[in-house]
Amino acid sequence: MNTRDRQKRFDALVRRYADDLLRFGIWLSGDHALANDLVQETFLRAWKSLDSLKDVNAAKSWLTTILRREHARTFERKRLPMTDIDNVVVADQVDLPPEERTEINLLRKALLELDDKYREPLTMQVVMGLSIAEIAEQLDLTESAVMTRVFRAREKLKAKLDPDPGRDGNVHELG
């Protein structure tokens, strides 16, 4: 592959997946600046090993795996200061009415309280849009294990968000 074709292929990957990777990086790290750094490192590593990507349909999983590994490397190198999630202002909430902001904050809080083994596959499915098979491959689990974890994560979220579903006769559905 010549340099021009390589650059076109890489540019197409960046345009198609940069936003998804940033969202996933924010969910993983809880920090927008760190997520930006993770995405930059992901694309740097992707550029260096672009020739190893044989199947373009696998690009999203390939890039997500790189990002997850970069996130893990961050904690191998140094301990980063933590930010209280309650103090983070998310720009997309500005135009929302107060009741919707409260619901989003409650959902985020409940999601962050889940064990990693439940939170990560659910986040990969909902935020990244990955299939069960892609999640299973990335987490080195069977597809049935991923389906079980996603199901349990949703059930745990339901229980946290509505601990008494029988009080009004309605069970609230998430996603």
What string of pLDDT tens digits covers the 175 residues of the chain? 678 888 888 898 899 999 999 998 888 888 889 999 999 999 999 988 888 888 878 888 889 989 988 888 876 665 546 666 566 555 554 566 766 667 777 878 888 888 889 988 988 888 888 889 989 988 899 999 999 999 999 999 888 887 665 555 455 555 4
Domains: count for the chain = 2
State whether 73 and 25 are in the same domain.
yes
State whether 134 and 74 are in the same domain.
no
User: At which residue do the structure tokens 């997500």 appear?
Assistant: 64
Enter the tokens of residue 97.
């009415």
What pTM did the predictor assign? 0.52
State whether 133 and 112 are in the same domain.
yes
State whether 59 and 111 are in the same domain.
no
How many angstroms separate the Cα of 135 from the Cα of each of 7, 18, 91, 147? 28, 19, 29, 10
